[in-house]
Amino acid sequence: MEKILISLKDKSYPVYVGNSILEQLTYLVDGHNLPKNIFVIVDESLMDVWGPKIKNIFFDENYKRHLYFLKPGEHSKSYLELNKIYSSLINNNFGRDTLIAAVGGGVTGDLAGFAASTFMRGVNLIQVPTTLLAMVDSSIGGKTGINFSKTKNMIGTFYQPQFVFIDTKFLDTLPQKELLSGLGEVIKYAYLSDENFYSFVKKNFDKLIRKENESINYVVTKSAIIKASVVSHDEKESGLRQILNLGHTFAHAFETELNFKIKHGEAVIAGIISAIYLSRNMNIVNDSTLTNLISLTAKVKLPKQLAKINFENVYKIMLLDKKNRNGRIKFVLIKNIGEVLLGVESGKPEIFSALKMMINFISKESSNNWI
Ligand SMILES: NC(=O)c1ccc[n+]([C@@H]2O[C@H](COP(=O)([O-])OP(=O)(O)OC[C@H]3O[C@@H](n4cnc5c(N)ncnc54)[C@H](O)[C@@H]3O)[C@@H](O)[C@H]2O)c1
């Protein structure tokens, strides 16, 4: 089992990563001296296959344990569901000495994290991510939240867990579409880190798609290290943490424009392709760097709905991005692998041209075409 440390000003905590390590979770809770009153918020869809293993954790006379089953899907990240969690905590006599364990994907982690940060002014939390996206991204860094009034993550907190526990064995049952969603973030880290990791992801992309154990474990660990390092330097996203938004200004607009019918990771990959072309349009990269940068994304199949996006709509949605100032859209752009530029303002013609190039690239130049 690997241990990665997140070092923050007020609190540091570890991320444990391994394969088939679930039975060690109870010992770790003991080792960290955490409360023995454990409220487990678990994605209900896991119970069919993982039920017996999940029911085994924290299950002896030393613990008071309650399992709270969460309906899968984004709609569970709601005020209504949060209300039910508070009621269940109170009705089952959980108090300040509670440990909330989030077992599931990003939806479970964000909601359980928000509940932990607000119940009784904050109780202990551990994150046990079960999707690739949650393992490499959402469980690390302390962002929690719920959606409100049709806006994603409208209400939330920064609240760090006591530790994050990543058992990559959970990925065995993860559907391909969800896997690709997480690979979108892995690809983003490949661009943010160095040539070595970029080449590894490119060379082993087929193995990653097949969930080949060694490659998956390697990229999960490496991605967690990258995210941990960024968060350690900038917990509240005042500077460096913004690099994690590479491709995301475009991606969020694609998701909204397509009514969330494509996966987040698919939108991120299309967003990164757009950001690379925008970097070219703004003379941040030359043609030979462009060829290298774009080559990794050619490995990925993307949904054909992306070809139908309305550029004016996408532009308007991007203008609403909360990171903008004075009505100018700010992008994270890329100069080369490991070199990104923050807060680059860009004009409408360059943006429209980048969108067109992204669609052309996926339609014509990608060997895999659309799915
Ligand atoms: N807090 C952050 O920093 C942060 C970062 C990125 C994304 N997010 C949030 O994360 C959420 C998306 O996360 P997600 O992609 O994990 O979605 P999710 O939690 O909805 O999980 C995706 C699907 O996979 C299923 N699932 C989970 N684990 C499984 C397993 N091991 N085997 C089979 N099926 C499994 C779930 O039931 C669900 O249907 C969004 O709400 C997004 O806003 C948060």
Residue extents of the structural domains in the chain: 2-173, 179-365
Single out the catalytic residue among 33, 61, 91, 121: 121
Burial of 9 (0-12, 13-18, 19+ CB in 10 A): exposed
Say yes or no: CB of residue 139 within 6 Å of ligand 1.
Answer: no
- Decide if pLDDT at 367 tops 50: no
Return d(Cα 361, Cα 363) in angstroms, integer: 6
Specify the pairing of strand 330-336 against strand 2-7.
Answer: unpaired
Q: Contact, 142 vs 160, CB < 8 A?
A: yes
CATH number, span 179-365: 1.20.1090.10
Say yes or no: CB of residue 176 within 6 Å of ligand 1.
Answer: no
| Per-residue model confidence as pLDDT tens digits over 252-294 | 999 999 998 998 899 999 999 999 999 999 999 999 999 999 9
Return d(Cα 261, Cα 274) in angstroms, integer: 19
Decide if domain 2-173 falls under CATH 3.40.50.1970: yes
Q: Which ligand 1 atom lies nearest to the CA of residue 181?
A: 15
Single out the catalytic residue among 77, 222, 252, 280: 252
Percent of the chain with pLDDT over 90: 81
Question: Which tokens is 317 given?
Answer: 């949605």
Closest-CA residue to 219 (of 298, 128, 137): 137
Residue type, 369: N
Say yes or no: CB of residue 131 within 6 Å of ligand 1.
Answer: yes
- Whole-model pTM: value is 0.94
Question: Which tokens is 193 given?
Answer: 């880190």
- Choice between 102 and 239, residue whose per-residue pLDDT is larger: 102
Percent of the chain with pLDDT over 70: 97
How many C-beta atoms lie closer than 10 Å to residue 340's C-beta?
Answer: 21
